[in-house]
Amino acid sequence: MKSYRYFDLIMAVFVTVLVVSNIASSAKIVDWGFSIGGVRMAFDAGTLLFPVSYIFGDILTEVYGYRRSRRVIWSGFFLLGISAAFFWIIGRLPADPNWEQYAGQTAYNAILGGMSSGGIVLGSLAGYWAGEFSNSVILARLKLITRGRWLWLRTISSTLIGQLIDTAGFVIVASLFGVFPWSLFLILVLSNYLFKCGVEVLMTPVTYLIVNRLKCAENEDFYDAGTNFNPFSA
């Protein structure tokens, strides 16, 4: 398989953004103090960073193709699970008495406990898996249909579908496990979705810049003609 200069770096950034955004999701819900179309802009803090993973996902698929993007998506999936396992183990280790006085297990559970709770973990894994693979497949297929033209149309279209699947899946599962109250369900889904898609649109010029430079630097512009889009394929 052809080797690339920047592929590993982009994969590392992608996975880092994924894990950090999921930690932030369990730590705080942010309220921006205004509404759009009657929808209050309040969402989990991970939403501030998570859209970046979709931007890098678009870059990976556009430059390196679906097969290599699939490897990265699975890497993120397993590393997210590993990080959740570590937070679960840490939460059950005996605590230092001094730490209990100024912080304590209650504070840990409130801020980081969600990262190892069934709701956050299962919601994140399910939403991430379905959303990222949907985004990558749609982008790759649209590249064939458009013959590589209109990158903006391909990135935005794939994000609109992928983010909807990801956001709705995450909030549904997390709410079922009691991470978020059902009273916030519609607000969280709509505000998260609008924000994530808005970031994708605003970052389109940056996506163009990175994609064009990577294609030149890597001497690659992969088209997925004949590719098996099964996420479980080798």
Distance CA 117, CA 123 (A): 10
Average pLDDT, the chain: 87
| C-beta of residue 17 within 8 angstroms of C-beta of residue 49 | yes
Enumerate residues 6+ apart whose C-beta is below 8 A from 130. 165, 166, 169
Q: Report the pLDDT value the prediction gives residue 205, as an integer from 0 to 100.
A: 92
Enumerate residues 6+ apart whose C-beta is below 8 A from 148. 221, 223
Return the DSSP state at 37: T
Q: Report the pLDDT value the prediction gives residue 151, as an integer from 0 to 100.
A: 93
| Dihedral, 146, 150, 155, 160 alpha carbons, nearest 10 | -80
HSE toward the beta carbon, residue 20, CA cutoff 13 A: 12
Q: Report the pLDDT value the prediction gives residue 176, as an integer from 0 to 100.
A: 86
Per-residue pLDDT tens digits for 5-51: 999 999 999 888 888 887 887 777 777 777 766 767 666 777 777 77
Q: Report the pLDDT value the prediction gives residue 39, as an integer from 0 to 100.
A: 66
Per-residue pLDDT tens digits for 164-216: 999 899 889 888 887 778 888 888 888 888 888 888 889 899 999 999 999 99
Domain ranges, ordered by start, for the chain: 7-218
- Domain 7-218 part of CATH 1.10.1760: yes
What's the chain look like in SS3?
Answer: CCCCCCHHHHHHHHHHHHHHHHHHHHHCEEEEEEEECCEEEEEEHHHHCCHHHHHHHHHHHHHHCHHHHHHHHHHHHHHHHHHHHHHHHHHHCCCCHHHHHHCHHHHHHHHCHHHHCHHHHHHHHHHHHHHHHHHHHHHHHHHHHCCCCCHHHHHHHHHHHHHHHHHHHHHHHHHHCCCCCHHHHHHHHHHHHHHHHHHHHHCHHHHHHHHHHHHHHHCCCCCCCCCCCCCCCC
Per-residue pLDDT tens digits for 109-168: 877 777 766 777 788 889 989 999 999 999 999 999 999 999 999 999 999 999 999 989
Per-residue pLDDT tens digits for 57-88: 899 999 999 999 999 999 999 998 898 888 88
Q: What is the pTM of this model?
A: 0.87
